[in-house]
Amino acid sequence: MSRPGLLLALGLGSVLLTACGLAEEDSLPTQDIVTSVPWTVGEETSYSILDNDDEVLGTGVLRIDQEDGQLRLSQHYQNPDFDDRSSVLVDAATLKPIEAERTITGKDGVLRIEVHYSDDVAEIERVATEEGKEEERRIDRLDVPEHAYDTGASLFLWRTIPMQVDYRAAYRSMATAVVGKSQENKVTLRVLRQETVEVPAGTFEAWRVEIRAPGVKQTAWYGADSARRLLKYDNGQNTFVLESVKES
């Protein structure tokens, strides 16, 4: 699979967003959306990443760790062509971002991104290294509005909303540690219904959540139990399916 394909594994941040969407979602005011944190520190969930023909393209791991009283939400995606590791350090109660980092290692070189949040601004530094070429370094700054979360925490963030039929909420998503231009976008969530989901880890009852942003429509299935683990995720190009859960 090409690099852009698996980069979508990081959610909305790897998609170039363009203006579209439903008027109803556009009119929904943004808010802080974290209502309860359902996980246990040390949880690690592993996924296979499939294409539209259900062929395995790569693997993914989501992990939650504690760091000086805060939470580090990590993602690791890989296939034979490249390795993509990222994490967001967040406030343990609100999941508001403090810093983020990402390293993409491929056959053509390495891209490292560091993000620091302070005083309603995110400062993003990108360093690209490629064999035989000079190192490229770029620093961007992005204003952080109210009700904002880092896009790299999205798959964790969506677990925390009230799971009830037709629940809707909107927030601002900071697409910082992305390959292209950093930007912030409005994201709306809607809990559609409860349904049965079959994945390699087993058969589960799940809440089906629809995610919309400008130009993007995705679907995530979270367990209907108290842990609300991500069971399946369709980002429009690839599908994650849960393989295993490990808790330390």
Q: DSSP secondary structure string, 179-209?
A: SS--EEEEEEEEEEEEEEEEETTEEEEEEEE
Does the structure show a pLDDT above 50 at 17? no
pTM of the prediction? 0.89
* Tens digit of each residue's pLDDT (9 = 90 or more) over 122-180: 999 999 998 878 899 999 999 999 999 999 999 999 999 999 999 999 999 999 999 88
Q: What is the pLDDT of residue 205?
A: 98
Mean of per-residue pLDDT scores for the chain: 89
Does the structure show a pLDDT above 90 at 2? no
What's the CATH code, domain 3-97+145-246? 2.40.360
* Tens digit of each residue's pLDDT (9 = 90 or more) over 54-106: 999 999 999 999 999 999 999 999 998 889 999 999 999 999 999 999 999 98
Q: What is the pLDDT of residue 187?
A: 96
Distances (CA, A) of 109 to 31, 90, 124, 180: 39, 29, 19, 16
Does the structure show a pLDDT above 90 at 10? no
Could you tell me the two tokens for 51?
Answer: 């294409």
Beta-carbon count within 10 A of 94 CB: 12
**Range name among 11-15, 47-51, 123-127, 220-224 with the lowest pLDDT average:** 11-15
Report which of residues 1 and 132 the model is more confident about. Answer: 132
Is 23 exposed, middle or buried, given 0-12, 13-18 or 19+ CB atoms closer than 10 A?
Answer: exposed
Q: What is the pLDDT of residue 128?
A: 93
Q: What is the pLDDT of residue 134?
A: 86
* Tens digit of each residue's pLDDT (9 = 90 or more) over 216-230: 899 999 999 999 999
Domain boundaries, given as residue ranges, for the chain: 3-97+145-246
The closest alpha carbon to 234, from 23, 44, 54, 20, belongs to 54
Residues 6+ apart with CB under 8 A from 93: 34, 37
Does the structure show a pLDDT above 50 at 213? yes
Q: What is the pLDDT of residue 4?
A: 33
C-alpha span between 186 and 212 (Å, rounded): 8
Q: What is the pLDDT of residue 25?
A: 52
